[in-house]
Amino acid sequence: QKEVEQDPGPLSVPEGAIVSLNCTYSNSAFQYFMWYRQYSRKGPELLMYTYSSGNKEDGRFTAQVDKSSKYISLFIRDSQPSDSATYLCAIGPGNTPLVFGKGTRLSVIA
Amino acid sequence: GAVVSQHPSWVICKSGTSVKIECRSLDFQATTMFWYRQFPKQSLMLMATSNEGSKATYEQGVEKDKFLINHASLTLSTLTVTSAHPEDSSFYICSAYGTPSNTQYFGPGTRLTVL
């Protein structure tokens, strides 16, 4: 079983839709959970960073962590064409190599 | 969020030459830096982890004599690709970890093309 499982997509949604991206992980010792967005030919950009369980909201983005289910989610509200990118979940702590999901390719169609 | 820069963003070199890529944390002190390579439409592949003032730890299969990593200060790490060959052509990305962020921030990446 891989440490982090993420559906690679591709996922295509119309502009304005709510997008749900998910990852599951196997190691219950993980405490730090991150979502990165990567545009083509660019480095990953940190979107959300959560410690332990719970929700965190930043503008149109909401990250959820359910440690009991080993399940993390990223929700994007009112999706825009500029949100089209690959989204990577990652699990830490950050001072050690992160464990990444394979990334989900998202296309938001205008 | 914190800012990490890379230089150059794009480099073309001849086979057999060496290329140095710089990674800088601009607004925080990076105690640990990581180097990745990424092929088109593939996942990030960790090459090595470097802690400031220490030798880098390389992932299995990564030639440490070919990919020289130096992390001499809390704001700068360098990756030198020695005697580059066409198969070394790739997208190289660094990330940096440091307090108080407790997470990793990535640089914009360097595209290396070896002719």
Q: Which residues pair with B114 in a beta bridge?
A: B13
d(CA A94, CA A56): 18
Residue B39 C-beta-side C-alpha neighbours within 13 Å:
4
Q: Residue B65 has what DSSP assignment?
A: T
Q: Which residues of A touch B (CB under 8 A)?
A: 32, 34, 36, 41-46, 49, 51, 88, 90, 92-98, 100, 102-103
Predicted local confidence at residue A1, as pLDDT: 62
d(CA A47, CA A91): 13
Tens-digit pLDDT profile for residues B13-29: 999 999 999 999 998 89
Q: Is the pLDDT of residue B97 over 70?
A: yes
At residue B22, the 3 state secondary structure works out as: strand
Residue B17 C-beta-side C-alpha neighbours within 13 Å:
12
Are A36 and A44 in contact by the 8 Å Cβ rule? The answer is yes
Band (pLDDT 50/70/90 cuts) for residue B61 is very high
- Give Rg (Cα) of chain A: 13
Tens-digit pLDDT profile for residues A27-59: 888 889 999 999 999 999 999 999 888 899 999
d(CA B32, CA B98): 7
Q: Residue A98 has what DSSP assignment?
A: P
Contact criterion met (CB < 8 Å) for A42 and B43: no
Nearest to B43 among A43, A45, A103 (CB): A103
Q: Residue A86 has what DSSP assignment?
A: E
